[in-house]
Amino acid sequence: MAEIVVIKESIDTDLQVFSQYLWRQKMSHRILTHADSILLLVGSEEDASQVATAYKLFLASSVLPNLKPKQRPTAGLARHFWGAPITLIFVVLSILGYLLVSIDTDFEWVRLLTFTDFQQRGAGIVFGPAGEEPWRLLTPIFLHFSSLHLVFNMLWLWDLGRRVEFLHGSVRSLCLIGLMGLGSNIAQYLFASNAIFGGMSGVIYGLLGYGWIWSLVQPQRSLHIPKAVLAFMLIWLLLCLFGFASLLGAGSVANAAHVGGLLMGMLLGLGSGLIAGKR
């Protein structure tokens, strides 16, 4: 979920006593460092108001009131799965796309979802023109050609997609993922037009780029993508660009889709962050 920064103090401030008090009051929170500051975050406006008031009293007189944590209307597991319906739908569609690829060995149905139509002519493949059927601009993101590819992508989609959806809501998340999918697919087609490609990887890098730039522009509403995750994904992207994935036996990688998705996500993150700042 999107968290709210309640306390921002200098890095040498000790919040341990106040944090212990919050846990005794059953008030969920998180403490982290950002640049030269230490931050305390909570998950709702109601909790933020109570914690802010309590911290002022604590600084003034060390008198700590009893808090009333917000009653969540849904259970944890329900929130976990149904709180981000768009992310869940994209996960399900990706699984169905993988099953279709596995079952349809002749690609009679699969070719209806590829970026361009194609026909097998003897030992070769003849590709049709692009843009005649508009759904093809997006549907390749659901096609996964190996179980490892599917699992890897779904783990990242479930993590990054829910972060964005909890912050912005389902409608905006649908638009963002759709634009990232379009950008990554078009980039891959422009780079390698005569090829069959698919997968959610471009969207994954789009969500990563979005969360990265958004959090820089709007640090008070950060998506809190761990720096280690960001570094790993960017290093992996560079390794794939230099052919490292092929050396490991992972096959061909749609590098243009990764780069296109990342750039699209970064652009959307910058625009959204600046618009939110003006509001």
Cα separation, 52 vs 6, in Å, equals: 6
Using a pLDDT cut of 70, give the percent of the chain over it.
88
Q: What is the pLDDT of residue 75?
A: 45
Task: Pick left, alpha or beta for residue 264 (phi over 0 → left; psi -120 to 50 → alpha; otherwise beta).
Answer: alpha
Cα separation, 160 vs 165, in Å, equals: 9
Residue 25: other Cβ atoms inside 10 A: 17
Q: What is the pLDDT of residue 180?
A: 97
Q: What is the pLDDT of residue 77?
A: 47
Which domains does the chain carry?
A: 4-61 (3.30.70.2080), 77-278 (1.20.1540.10)
Q: Which residue has the higher pLDDT, 44 or 71?
A: 44
Confidence of residue 201 (pLDDT cuts 50, 70, 90): very high
Confidence of residue 139 (pLDDT cuts 50, 70, 90): very high
Half-sphere exposure of 128 (CA within 13 A, CB side): 15
- Give the 3-state secondary structure of residue 41: strand
Q: What is the pLDDT of residue 88?
A: 95
Per-residue pLDDT tens over the stretch 83-133: 789 999 999 999 999 999 999 988 889 989 999 888 877 667 888 887 778
Name the token pair of 46. 């109601």
Residue indicated by tokens 């037009």: 193
Q: What is the pLDDT of residue 185?
A: 94
The H or E element containing residue 5 is strand 4-10
Q: Strands of 30-34's sheet, edge to edge?
A: 4-10, 37-42, 30-34
Give the chain's mean pLDDT. 85
Half-sphere exposure of 43 (CA within 13 A, CB side): 12
Q: What is the DSSP letter of 35?
A: T
| 200 has a pLDDT exceeding 90 | yes
Judge contact between 110 and 143, C-beta under 8 A.
Answer: yes
DSSP-H helix ranges across 8-104: 16-24, 45-61, 76-82, 85-103
Task: Pick left, alpha or beta for residue 9 (phi over 0 → left; psi -120 to 50 → alpha; otherwise beta).
Answer: beta
The Cα-based distances of 132 to 135, 138, 193, 219 in angstroms read: 9, 13, 15, 42
Cα separation, 251 vs 184, in Å, equals: 19
Whole-structure pTM over 0.75, yes or no?
A: no
Confidence of residue 70 (pLDDT cuts 50, 70, 90): low
Q: Is 205 exposed, middle or buried (0-12, 13-18, 19+ CB in 10 A)?
A: buried
Q: Which residue has the higher pLDDT, 258 or 241?
A: 258
Per-residue pLDDT tens over the stretch 1-45: 567 889 999 988 888 888 888 888 888 888 888 778 899 898 888
Name the token pair of 172. 């905006």
Per-residue pLDDT tens over the stretch 210-250: 999 999 998 878 888 888 999 999 998 998 888 776 655 55
